[in-house]
C-alpha cells in the first residue's frame, strides 16, 4: 500500500487515496494534504462543518451518511456541498474526513 | 485513472486495431500473455476483508495478503497449481452443467459478437467462446484423453501462472449477463463459466475488493452498504420525511414487525444513494396507497447478493437471511424489490440452497386475491409482478400527467429478463404511468444489452472498460434519445441505477436513470394528499 508524507506526518492510503486506517490516523495535516490534492483553494468554516458532520455521523453509524442527510445536518443545499468539494461529497469530503468509500450497488 | 474523452474512446472502438475492426491477430491466442496496468483491472480485495471472511463459519477465503496484479509475483500459495486443478476436478464432479459446457461447445462462434465486452473492447479473448476456452484448454489438458495425448494439437495447455493471470483478467471482464447464451445453439451458460473461474481464483486468494467488501459487509450487517439496523431505519424514515414534504402524506414504515403479512426486501442501495432513493420512495408510496400489511427488515436488509460473484458458499450464506427472517417474523410470503442479480439467486438457487420454505404460503395478493402460482416454490414475488397485478385490477389511482416531464425507455435488466423471464410486467406498468418507447428490437427483452458494470464491476478504477462494455446499451439509448427525445432510462436493477447513470453521463448526457417504482410513485394519487406541482416528480427539490 502506498505511503505518503505531508508536513511531517506519514499516512498509509489505499489505491483511491483514502486513509487506510481511517480516522485513527486522521489529523490536520491530512486535511491540509487533501485540500491541495482536491484543488480547494482555502479551507473555510463551511468545510470544517461538513467534515465534523461526517465524522460525527460515522462514529454513530459506521458509514458515511446519505448525501441528503449530510445536507440536512449541515444546512447546506447539495449544490453548496459540491461547490465546497468539487469531486463530490463521497470522494472529496469523505476522503478529507478520513471516512472509507461506500461500496455495493452505488 | 482518467477516462478518455468521448471522441477518443468512440473512435478507438470503431477504428482501433482489434478483431472487431478486422485486424487479425498475428499470434496464436495461447502465446499472447495478459498485461495488467492501472485502469484495466479492479483493485484486489483488502487483506483485512479477506481475513474477516475467511474467519467466518462455512466460508473459505484463504491467502489474505497485500498484492497487486501489476506485480510479477502474486504471492500465490506454493501448491497453487494443485489447489486449482483439484478445485476444477471437484467442480466437474459437483456441477454436471460445467462438465457439459466444457464438452459440448463446437466453437461455431454464434456467441462471439453478442458480448458487450467484445463489442466494446474488440479483444478476441472477450468472445464468450474464447472466455470459456481459457478454462476449457486446462480441462482438456488434465481431464480428457485427447488432451492428455495430443496436448496443444487438441487445444490443450498446461496450467501456469500466466493462465491464472489470464483468468483473472477475463473473468472480471464478463458481467455474467448471459446474452451470449441466448444465441448459443447448445445453450452454454457463460455466466456459469465465469462463476467457476472466479471460484477457482478465490481458492488461491485472487479476488477484487469491490466484491469482497460488500460480501463482508453483508455478512456482518445484512447488507452490502454496511448499514447497521439503526442507520437502515433512519434512512428509510428520512425518505418518508421527504415524501411528507412532497405530498403532505405521513408514512410510518414498519420495521421488523412480527406477524406482518408480507416481508419486503430490496437492495440496500435503494435506501442509500441516488437515484435508487426515489425508487424506494416509490415503494413506500405504493404500500401506503394500498394499505399493505408489510414490514421492512433491518436484518434481511439487502436483496442483492455479491456472494453470487464469489462462490457458491458465500452466495448460500448471504441468501439464508431471507427465509430465516421470514420465519422469525412469521410472515406469509416475501415481496422483492427492483434488483437484478438478486433475482437470479432467488429464482434459480434459493429454493434448493436454503429451502424448502414450507413455513410460508403460496403468495397471494391481499388486495386483488391473485395467487402467484409461479412463485409456489420460492414464495417470493417481484414488485413489478405485484404492481402490474394491482393495475390490472384497477386498484391504483394513477395520474399519468404527473410524469409528463418524462419520456422514458426501458432497459431490461439482464437477470430479471434472462434469469426469470420478467419481460412484460414492467412494460405493462410503464404503459399506465408514463409516455415511453422501446429501444431497437435486438437490444431489449431476452436480447437486452448489459449496463456493462454488473457482477461487481461497478467500481470507478475500471471506468474506461465500463464505458466500453456499456457502449452497446448506450448506443441503443442514443437512438431513442435522438429520435424520440427520450430523457429517462428506466430499469429494474440497483446496479443499473448506479452504473447506467455514469454510462449516460458519459455517452448520452441529458438522459437520466430511474427505477420503475419511481415512475409509479410519481403517478400514484394518495388519499389525503396536498401535493403541489412537482415539476420533477419525487426528485423535485422544495
Asked if residue A103 is part of any domain, the answer here is no
Model pLDDT for residues A48-70, shown as the tens digit of each residue: 999 999 999 999 999 999 988 99
> Residue B21: which pLDDT band, with cuts at 50, 70 and 90?
confident
Of residues A8, A41, A68, A105, which has the active-site annotation? A105
Residue A66 domain boundaries: 3-97
Query: Do B247 and B153 share a structural domain?
Result: no
Query: Do B366 and B258 share a structural domain?
Result: yes
pLDDT, position B111: 97
Query: How far is the C-alpha of B261 from the C-alpha of A5, rounded, in Å?
Result: 57
Model pLDDT for residues B337-367, shown as the tens digit of each residue: 999 999 999 999 999 999 999 999 999 999 9
A59 in reach of chain B (CB within 8 A): no
Please state, for a pLDDT cut of 90, what percent of chain B lies above it: 95
Q: Name the domain count of chain A.
A: 1
Query: Do B199 and B112 share a structural domain?
Result: yes
Model pLDDT for residues B418-442, shown as the tens digit of each residue: 999 999 999 999 999 999 999 999 9
List, as ranges, residues 69-88 from A with C-beta within 8 Å of B: 69, 72, 77-78
Strand B380-382 and strand B333-336: pairing?
A: parallel
Asked if residue B10 is part of any domain, the answer here is no
Query: How far is the C-alpha of B112 from the C-alpha of B114, rounded, in Å?
Result: 6
Query: How far is the C-alpha of A57 from the C-alpha of B323, rounded, in Å?
Result: 32
A3 in reach of chain B (CB within 8 A): no
Cβ of A67 within 8 Å of Cβ of B274? The answer is yes
pLDDT, position B22: 83
**Of B41, B452, B87, nearest in space to B208 by CA:** B41
Model pLDDT for residues A13-26, shown as the tens digit of each residue: 998 899 988 999 99
Would you state the cell numbers that stand for residue B164, as one nine-digit string?
A: 491464472
What's the gap in Å between the CA of A77 and the closest CA on chain B? 10
Asked if residue A91 is part of any domain, the answer here is yes
Asked if residue B201 is part of any domain, the answer here is yes
Query: How far is the C-alpha of B519 from the C-alpha of B523, rounded, in Å?
Result: 6
**Of B468, B404, B466, nearest in space to B436 by CA:** B404
Strand B435-437 and strand B407-410: pairing?
A: parallel
Asked if residue B19 is part of any domain, the answer here is no
Query: Do B192 and B252 share a structural domain?
Result: no
Asked if residue B18 is part of any domain, the answer here is no
Taking CA–CA distances from A65, the nearest residue in chain B reads: B272
Query: Do B355 and B322 share a structural domain?
Result: yes
Neighboring chain B residues of A1 at a CB cutoff of 8 Å: 66
Query: How far is the C-alpha of B480 from the C-alpha of B534, rounded, in Å?
Result: 25
Asked if residue A81 is part of any domain, the answer here is yes
Would you state the cell numbers that stand for residue B380, as one nine-digit string?
A: 417470493
Q: Rounded to whole angstroms, what are the CA distances from A66 to B271, B393, B429, B456?
A: 9, 37, 29, 21
For residue A105, pLDDT beyond 80: no
Asked if residue A86 is part of any domain, the answer here is yes
pLDDT, position A91: 85
Question: Strand locations in B89-204, DSSP E?
Answer: none
DSSP H/E element including B333: strand B333-336
Q: Name the domain count of chain B.
A: 2
Neighboring chain B residues of A14 at a CB cutoff of 8 Å: 43, 46
Query: Do B236 and B203 share a structural domain?
Result: no
What's the gap in Å between the CA of B90 and the closest CA on chain A? 30
Neighboring chain A residues of B45 at a CB cutoff of 8 Å: none
Query: Do B308 and B191 share a structural domain?
Result: no
A8 in reach of chain B (CB within 8 A): no
Range B513-542 average pLDDT: 95
Query: Do B107 and B243 share a structural domain?
Result: no
Asked if residue A104 is part of any domain, the answer here is no
Query: How far is the C-alpha of B265 from the C-alpha of B334, rounded, in Å?
Result: 7
Query: How far is the C-alpha of B520 from the C-alpha of B503, rounded, in Å?
Result: 24
Query: Do B254 and B114 share a structural domain?
Result: no
Single residue among B156, B183, B207 that ends a domain in this structure? B207
User: Cell match 489505491: residue?
Assistant: A15
**Of B100, B129, B138, nearest in space to B190 by CA:** B129
Q: CATH number, domain at A40?
A: 1.10.10.370
Neighboring chain B residues of A66 at a CB cutoff of 8 Å: 235, 238, 272-273, 277
Q: Rounded to whole angstroms, what are the CA distances from A26 to A12, A31, B360, B526?
A: 10, 8, 50, 48
Asked if residue B198 is part of any domain, the answer here is yes
Of B66, B235, B269, the CB nearest to A106: B269
Of B228, B235, B269, the CB nearest to A105: B269
What's the gap in Å between the CA of A104 and the closest CA on chain B? 5
Cβ of B228 within 8 Å of Cβ of A63? The answer is yes
Query: Do B332 and B203 share a structural domain?
Result: no
Taking CA–CA distances from B232, the nearest residue in chain A reads: A61
DSSP B402-456: GGTT-EEEE---HIIIIIH---HHHHHHHHHHSEEEPPPGGGSGGGPPP-S-TTT
Single residue among B174, B207, B240 that ends a domain in this structure? B207
Would you state the cell numbers that stand for residue B264, as one nine-digit string?
A: 419486503
Single residue among B175, B207, B239 that ends a domain in this structure? B207
Cβ of A106 within 8 Å of Cβ of B209? The answer is no
What's the gap in Å between the CA of A45 and the closest CA on chain B? 25
SS3 string, B262-321, reads EEEECCHHHHCCCCHHHHHHHHHHHHHHHCCCEEECCCCCCCCCHHHHCCHHHHHHHHHH
Query: How far is the C-alpha of A21 from the C-alpha of B380, rounded, in Å?
Result: 41
Cβ of B238 within 8 Å of Cβ of A105? The answer is no
Residue B256 domain boundaries: 215-539
A94: annotated active-site residue: no
Query: Do B252 and B375 share a structural domain?
Result: yes
For residue B1, pLDDT beyond 80: no
Query: How far is the C-alpha of A90 from the C-alpha of A99, rounded, in Å?
Result: 9
Cβ of B461 within 8 Å of Cβ of A15? The answer is yes
Residue B461 DSSP class: G
Query: Do B504 and B426 share a structural domain?
Result: yes
pLDDT, position B25: 85
Range A83-100 average pLDDT: 91
Asked if residue B14 is part of any domain, the answer here is no
Least confident among B4-8, B131-135, B196-200, B398-402: B4-8
Neighboring chain B residues of A102 at a CB cutoff of 8 Å: 225-226, 272-273
Taking CA–CA distances from B230, the nearest residue in chain A reads: A61
Amino acid at each position: 500500500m502506498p505511503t505518503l508524507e505531508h508536513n511531517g506526518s506519514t499516512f498509509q492510503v489505499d489505491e483511491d487515496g483514502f486513509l487506510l486506517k481511517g480516522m485513527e490516523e486522521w489529523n490536520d495535516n491530512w486535511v491540509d494534504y487533501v485540500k491541495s490534492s482536491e484543488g480547494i483553494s482555502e479551507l473555510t468554516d463551511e468545510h470544517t462543518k461538513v467534515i465534523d458532520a461526517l465524522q460525527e455521523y460515522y462514529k454513530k453509524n459506521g458509514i458515511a451518511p446519505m448525501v441528503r442527510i449530510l445536507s440536512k445536518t449541515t444546512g447546506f443545499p447539495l449544490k453548496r456541498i459540491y461547490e465546497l468539494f468539487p469531486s463530490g461529497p463521497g470522494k472529496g469530503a469523505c476522503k478529507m474526513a478520513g471516512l472509507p468509500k461506500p461500496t455495493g450497488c452505488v | 485513472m482518467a477516462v478518455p474523452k468521448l471522441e477518443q474512446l468512440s473512435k478507438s472502438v470503431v477504428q482501433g486495431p482489434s478483431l472487431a475492426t478486422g485486424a487479425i491477430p498475428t499470434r496464436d491466442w495461447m502465446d499472447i500473455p495478459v498485461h495488467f496496468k492501472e485502469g484495466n483491472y479492479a483493485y484486489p480485495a483488502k487483506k483485512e476483508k479477506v481475513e474477516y471472511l475467511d474467519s467466518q463459519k462455512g466460508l473459505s477465503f484463504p491467502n489474505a495478503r497485500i498484492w497487486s496484479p501489476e506485480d510479477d509475483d502474486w504471492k500465490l500459495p506454493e501448491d497453487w497449481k494443485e489447489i486449482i486443478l483439484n478445485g476444477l476436478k471437484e467442480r466437474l464432479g459437483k456441477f454436471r452443467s460445467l462438465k457439459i459446457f466444457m464438452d459440448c461447445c463446437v466453437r461455431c462462434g454464434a456467441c462471439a459478437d453478442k458480448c458487450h465486452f467484445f463489442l466494446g473492447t474488440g479483444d478476441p479473448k472477450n468472445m464468450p467462446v474464447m472466455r470459456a476456452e481459457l478454462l476449457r484448454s486446462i480441462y482438456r489438458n488434465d481431464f480428457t484423453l485427447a488432451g492428455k495425448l495430443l496436448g496443444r494439437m487438441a487445444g490443450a495447455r498446461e496450467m501456469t501462472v500466466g493462465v491464472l493471470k489470464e483468468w483473472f483478467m477475463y473473468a472480471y471482464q464478463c458481467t455474467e449477463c448471459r446474452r451470449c447464451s441466448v444465441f448459443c445453439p447448445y445453450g452454454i451458460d457463460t455466466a456459469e463459466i465465469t462463476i467457476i473461474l472466479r471460484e477457482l481464483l478465490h481458492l488461491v486468494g485472487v479476488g477484487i475488493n469491490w466484491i469482497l467488501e460488500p460480501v463482508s459487509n453483508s455478512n456482518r450487517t445484512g447488507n452490502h452498504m454496511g448499514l447497521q439496523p439503526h442507520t437502515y431505519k433512519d434512512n428509510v424514515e428520512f425518505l418518508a420525511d421527504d415524501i411528507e414534504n412532497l405530498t403532505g402524506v405521513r408514512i410510518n414504515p414498519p420495521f421488523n414487525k412480527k406477524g406482518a403479512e408480507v416481508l419486503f426486501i430490496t437492495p440496500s442501495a435503494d435506501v442509500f444513494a441516488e437515484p435508487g432513493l426515489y425508487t424506494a420512495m416509490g415503494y413506500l408510496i405504493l404500500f401506503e396507497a394500498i394499505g399493505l400489511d408489510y414490514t421492512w427488515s433491518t436484518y434481511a436488509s439487502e436483496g442483492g447478493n455479491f456472494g453470487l460473484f464469489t462462490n457458491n458458499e458465500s452466495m448460500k450464506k448471504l441468501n439464508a437471511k431471507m427465509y430465516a427472517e421470514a420465519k422469525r417474523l412469521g410472515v406469509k410470503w416475501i415481496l422483492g424489490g427492483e434488483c437484478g442479480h438478486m433475482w437470479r439467486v432467488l429464482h434459480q438457487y434459493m429454493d434448493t440452497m436454503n429451502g424448502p420454505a414450507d413455513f410460508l404460503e403460496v403468495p397471494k395478493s391481499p388486495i386483488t386475491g391473485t395467487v402467484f402460482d409461479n412463485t409456489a416454490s420460492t414464495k417470493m414475488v417481484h414488485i413489478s409482478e405485484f404492481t402490474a397485478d394491482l393495475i390490472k385490477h384497477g386498484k391504483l389511482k394513477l395520474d399519468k400527467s404527473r410524469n409528463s416531464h418524462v419520456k422514458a425507455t426501458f432497459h431490461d435488466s439482464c437477470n430479471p429478463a434472462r434469469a426469470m423471464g420478467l419481460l412484460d410486467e414492467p412494460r405493462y406498468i410503464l404503459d399506465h404511468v408514463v409516455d415511453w418507447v422501446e429501444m431497437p428490437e435486438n437490444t431489449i427483452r431476452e436480447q437486452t444489452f448489459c449496463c456493462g458494470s454488473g457482477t461487481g464491476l461497478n467500481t470507478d478504477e475500471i471506468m474506461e472498460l465500463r464505458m466500453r462494455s456499456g457502449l452497446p446499451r448506450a448506443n441503443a439509448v442514443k437512438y431513442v434519445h435522438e429520435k424520440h427525445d427520450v430523457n429517462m432510462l428506466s430499469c429494474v436493477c440497483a446496479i443499473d441505477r448506479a452504473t447506467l447513470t455514469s454510462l449516460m453521463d458519459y455517452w448520452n448526457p441529458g438522459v437520466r436513470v430511474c427505477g420503475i417504482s419511481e415512475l409509479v410513485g410519481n403517478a400514484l394519487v394518495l388519499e389525503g394528499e396536498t401535493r403541489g406541482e412537482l415539476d420533477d416528480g419525487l426528485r423535485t427539490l422544495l
